[in-house]
Structure 1
Amino acid sequence: MPQSRAERKASYFERIITYFEKFDKVLVIGVDNVGSNQLQKLRQALRKDCEVLMGKNTMIRKALKSHLSKNPALEKLLPHLVGNVGFIFTNGDLKQVREKIAENRVPAAAKAGTFAQCDVVIPAGPTGMEPTMTSFFQALNIPTKINKGQIEIQSDVTLLKEGQRVGNSEQTLLQKLNIKPFKYGAVIHVIYENGVIYEPKVLDIGEEEISQVTKEGIHNIAAVSLAIGYPTQASVPYTIISSLKNLFAVSLVSDYTMPQAVQLKDLLDNPDALAQMVVNVLPTGGASVGTGGASKQEEKQEQPQEEEEDEDLGLGLFD
């Protein structure tokens, strides 16, 4: 026996609430210009890890409001229930879900009254259209010529700019040229995860970027803490290092000795050992450079002696 309208409505409400309790991540998607066949293929692609839910915004809004007492965070979704939207529920990887949504986009012809998703360029070359259509191209300011009994476009022409409204003439021309310039599919508007709403571009942030931003934040906190003299967990390591440096300095200029400073004091008391340690630390290239410098100094010292010998020889000849 088929369900009554009230029973179907109650079942739909229950399904919405069940999904919000079962899944932690919800994608609010726009499905403008998406046909039922394309939407069915999207359901099949996401069937393993996701649930796709469509419906009237008024019914979805009413179902969410009835559940606000148990989950107040759902109120954040209400402003986004505008237009032709739906939900994708998942506990899986959001990047993988986004990739599957992108794979579901299909080429589509331009429709009059819609806005261009991108620049539409008509390539130069033969069109296969009869010369009687020349006036049609002239109305669109497209340079043409007749070649071998058909219209040929002389150069690439930008027919539509991104965001420009598609007119009847543009639609007709693109249809005659069999050009499908746009791609339609589900578009992610926002993502709801554990009570937080964020934009889909957040998914493009990688772990390295997050790590770098975290490090910079910790460094900034440590700098402020040290500047105002307020200790924090971020500033404690720097405070300890600074204190150790002060202890080393006091140990070096006084008779007080601490185990950590014994080796350093021995090196300062023994310049030869310190020099040997420096030589061991320097790379091989540095040693060769130093040797080269020494040889150059020896050459400079030898040059004046040669000049003095030349001068002696010169004076001997004229005596």
Structure 2
Amino acid sequence: MVKKENKAVFFERLLGLFDNYERMLIVSADNVGSKQLQGLRKAFRKNSEMIMGKNTMIRKVLRDNMEEKPELESLLEHIEGNIGFIFTKADATDIRELLRTHVVPAAAKAGTFAQCDVNIPPGPTGMDPSMTSFFQALNIPTKISRGQIEIQHEVALLKEGQKVGSSEVALLQKLSIRPFSYGLGLVQIYEKGNVFSPKVLDIKDEDMIESIKAVLGNVQGLSIGADYPTQLSEPYHIANVKSALEDIAAISLEIGYPTETSVPHSIKNGLEDIISISLEIDYTPKEAETIKEMLANPEAFAAAAAPAAAAAPAAEASAAEAEKPAEEEEEEDDDMGFSLFD
């Protein structure tokens, strides 16, 4: 009974967080201890809330509410592994920096995978000569110097992604090396129904400017303003300008930011939606009258279109005949009024 009540509380809380926040960060929580999580919760108290739970329970909340909130479906494919949610009203970049400040160094654990390359530096180890066989078993060249074991040269112990074995763990512990660090890692960002990679947080204004320049390509003399290019000051190729403005319109439509290049497309798309809706209902706007008449009486429109269709090949033939070069008349011998036999 208590277990069911706890589940109901979790479902209600998670759904309430989706109602109260537009931005949510999915974080990985591998090897993160409870004390570390407690410190993060305290840091998030001002403008964020963190919730952890079983993936099966999270998926159930999402599926049960997708009818009312269809945008939740985009999250389902990302609910895997040891993850948690951070709902926040702060900027995602600030939350990422906060997560980085709560990363703690950690010793290697057998069975885990190396987060990075691990190299053992050369030099004295502080261990007595009785441990020489231990280093020999790991194929690490050593020598005895001043009563202690000394590693002769740098040793590549682990590669990033390699599974950590018990021997590597034992060596790192003996050398007091803690090569890894653990903390909440940012996996995905969910905002207003969209899910995107945290890599977008690394995009700077300068990168955006360079991207816009790349879109414009070889167009010369375009002055880049806040919204789109507005002036042409040097010779340009009209095809390049047309292509650039089409790209800008496409970007504006995708991000939902209207510009003078995208507004005509938005109006056209809206008009098409209105016509599509009117075909399903009794109301008929002026713009949809012709289309409805065509659907209601297609034979009449086919008959009206037939003469025009028949006239098209004839017009093309006439045009082709007009373009055909006139045949040269046969030249007649002109005696200019004289005769060789007079």
Fold-level similarity (TM above 0.5): yes
| Partner residue in 1 for 2:56 | 58
| Partner residue in 2 for 1:128 | 126
Identity of aligned residues (%): 55
| Partner residue in 1 for 2:172 | 174
Query: Secondary structure of the equivalent of 1:201?
Result: helix
| Partner residue in 2 for 1:299 | none
Per-residue CA deviations over 1:222-251 (Å, capped at 9, x if unaligned) read 745647xx9x8559xxxxxxxxxxxxxxxx
| Partner residue in 2 for 1:200 | 198
| Partner residue in 2 for 1:101 | 99
| Partner residue in 1 for 2:6 | 8
Q: Flag structure 1 segments of 5+ consecutive residues without an equivalent.
A: 236-319
2:112 matches 1:114: yes
Indicate how the Cα distance of structure 1 residues 214 and 168 shifts in structure 2: closer, same or farther if over 3 A, else same.
Answer: same
Indicate how the Cα distance of structure 1 residues 226 and 57 shifts in structure 2: closer, same or farther if over 3 A, else same.
Answer: closer
Q: Give the Å deviation of 1:126.
A: 1.2
Q: Flag structure 2 segments of 5+ consecutive residues without an equivalent.
A: 220-228, 230-237, 250-259, 263-342
Query: Secondary structure of the equivalent of 2:51?
Result: strand
Q: Aligned runs of 1:129-278 on 2, under 5 Å?
A: 129-217=127-215, 223-224=239-240, 226=242, 233=260
| Partner residue in 2 for 1:82 | 80
The CA RMSD measured in Å over matched residues stands at: 2.5
Per-residue CA deviations over 1:179-212 (Å, capped at 9, x if unaligned) read 0000111111111111111111111001232244
Q: Which structure has the larger Rg?
A: 1
Per-residue CA deviations over 1:45-92 (Å, capped at 9, x if unaligned) read 222121000011111111111211221010111111111111000121
Q: Structure 1-normalised TM-score?
A: 0.68
In the alignment, which of 18, 21, 29 is matched to residue 20 of structure 1?
18
Q: Give the Å deviation of 1:110.
A: 0.7
Cα distance in 2 between the residues matched to 1:66 and 1:10:
13
Q: Structure 2-normalised TM-score?
A: 0.63
> Is residue 27–residue 88 contact of structure 1 (8 Å, CA) maintained in 2?
yes
Query: Secondary structure of the equivalent of 1:115?
Result: coil
